[in-house]
Copies of this chain bind each other. A is one copy, B any other.
Amino acid sequence: MKLSASLSQLIDALRCLPGIGPKSAQRIAFHLLERDRNGGSQLGRSLTKAMDKIGHCQSCRTFCEEAICDLCQNVKRIDSGLLCVVESPSDILAIEQTGQYVGRYFVLMGHLSPLDGIGPNEIGLDQLDNLLITSDVKEVILATNPTIEGETTAHFIAELCQKNQVEASRIAHGVPVGGELDLVDGMTLSHAFNGRKVV
């Protein structure tokens, strides 16, 4: 049986969702067409708009629709002199949910991975270097993931801080080794922040 062109295209396109195979894609397409056309249309519009409009903050690289994000413009955060380096924008969400941290962020959008061709410039370290020179940062909190790549990246950035005579600390206690930061509960994250150590 030949499915209609738009339906085939929709089923194919749904495969971009993480963990969705051909069978699930088909089930989702039929579900939306049979039971939630408004939801499907709304999702279509939201996806188109988000993929088109959401760029990156010119200062911290997080997802943002303007040139500079709200967090980077917040006077209290700027005055704190704290800059927390994370791998992904979702890490910011997790940290903000603890309500413990009032400072700025810098988002690497990944981690060092030389074998994949991801070097310092690919994760914005030239930009971070510049930020440390031009901006009044007193302490860089290294909150990359507690994985081998995350540790390597943290170590590399610590050296960058040393070069710029800025103190660097690494979040420490409570973060399970091998885990992903944005899956850690708020209490654990709070402990990790309070227990950070100079590196």
Copies of this polypeptide in the complex: 2
Interface residues of A in 7-30 (CB under 8 A from B): 7, 9-10, 12-18, 26-30
Query: A17 — which chain B residues lie within 8 A by C-beta?
Result: 17, 28, 32, 43
A97, B93: Cα distance in complex, Å: 45
Q: Determine which residue in A26, A51, A65 has the highest number of CB atoms from chain B within 10 A of its CB, and name it.
A: A51
Interface residues of A, dominant DSSP: helix
Among A4, A13, A50, A69, the most chain B Cβ lie within 10 Å of the Cβ of: A50
A54 at the interface (CB under 8 A from B): yes
Q: Mark A119-137, 1 if CB is under 8 A from B, else 0.
A: 0000000000000000000
A27 — which chain B residues lie within 8 A by C-beta?
18, 90
Residues of B within 8 A of A1 (CB): 71, 92-93, 96-97
Q: How many residues of A contact B (CB 8 A)?
A: 57
- A140 CB, nearest partner CB in chain B, Å: 20
Question: Nearest Cβ distance between residue A49 and chain B, in whole angstroms?
Answer: 5
Chain B residues closer than 8 Å to A14, beta-carbon distance: 43, 46
- New contact pairs (17) apart from A10-B46, A34-B89, A44-B45, CB-CB < 8 Å: A1-B92, A4-B54, A4-B69, A5-B65, A6-B50, A10-B49, A10-B50, A17-B28, A26-B93, A30-B88, A33-B51, A33-B63, A33-B89, A34-B88, A44-B51, A45-B48, A47-B47
